Copies of this chain bind each other. A is one copy, B any other.
Amino acid sequence: MGKLLAVGSMAFDAIETPFGKTDKILGGAAPYIGLAASQFDIEIAIVSVVGEDFPKNYLSLLESKNIDTSAIEIVKGGKTFFWSGKYHNDLNSRDTIETQLNVLGDFNPVVPEDYKDADVVMLGNLHPGTQLSVIDQMAKKPQLIILDTMNFWMDNTWDELIQVISKVDVITINDEEARQLTKEYSLVKAAKKINEMGPKFVVIKKGEHGALLFHGDNVFFAPALPLEEVFDPTGAGDTFAGGFAGYIATTKDISFENMKNAVIYGSNLASFCVEKFGTERVENLSKSEIHQRLLQFKELTQFEIELT
């Protein structure tokens, strides 16, 4: 059985979209990654940190999905990372209203012994030094290390970011970040430069415009499923990453052809995530719903042209 190590933040999120607002709900990269990956028949552990204020029932929720939470450090007297944000009317952009790093500021990840041989390591968006520390703790080289990052680390921790990028197999970033990282406007050129920095596979996330997978001269595109209602985009990128990582951990096949499927699974799960606030939709997702949506992705993209 495939083994996935997921490292990422756990948070309280307070979200406002044009359709409503939430009080503090379960957030952070790790829960989205874990919940998405739990759709596959694999072993999953989350390495993260929370404060003493973190509700036990959030941990129970993850455990009920067969996610190992024993490496989630609970800091006595500490407060959990908090983020609040407000989306603009078009849902494509948002303002951060407040960020309280709290215990995440001193996060020192400890990889459990029985996950030092994980097949797939998913490094959620964190300080690149923290991500590096996880890679250094692995006892054997994982089949695939996937890195998520963002512009903040390009602005503030360039050298460490470049170092961690050089050690991973897949990077997932958005189009603007790919351009910032490489100073190339063309995403084709940007992906080639990132290849040269280390990652053999580059996933460029474009939100409602889908995702591109680059590998050498190969390129694959998965659209986002056009939806009647998009409720809350929070966590869609992490859900995509969790679906991608989980699919690779269960198939253990890192050919480009199979990576395409991983991108489709990631897009599939992300399309559910945005339908409700927070993790609500991915918590309650059946295999048959996912299969139904796979058929929709096929209808959306597949065509038969006779080459005359």
A interface, CB within 8 angstroms of B = 89-91, 185-189, 206, 209-210, 212, 218-221, 223, 226-230, 257, 260-261, 264-265, 291, 294-295, 298-305, 307
- CB within 8 A of A90: which of B185, B218, B298, B304? B185
Point out the residues of chain B lying under 8 angstroms from A226, CB to CB: 186-188, 212, 219, 221
Q: Is A209 in contact with B212, judged by CB distance below 8 angstroms?
A: no
Q: Is A303 in contact with B228, judged by CB distance below 8 angstroms?
A: no
Point out the residues of chain B lying under 8 angstroms from A305, CB to CB: 261, 264-265, 294, 298
Q: Is B303 in contact with A220, judged by CB distance below 8 angstroms?
A: yes
Q: Is B261 in contact with A303, judged by CB distance below 8 angstroms?
A: yes
Point out the residues of chain B lying under 8 angstroms from A188, CB to CB: 226-228
Tell whether A299 pairs with B227 under 8 Å between CB atoms, given A206-B209, A304-B257. Answer: no
Q: Is A300 in contact with B221, judged by CB distance below 8 angstroms?
A: yes
Tell whether A210 pairs with B223 under 8 Å between CB atoms, given A257-B304, A301-B302. Answer: yes
Closest to A40 in B: B308
Q: Is A221 in contact with B219, judged by CB distance below 8 angstroms?
A: no
- CB within 8 A of A221: which of B91, B186, B229, B301? B301
- CB within 8 A of A299: which of B90, B218, B299? B218
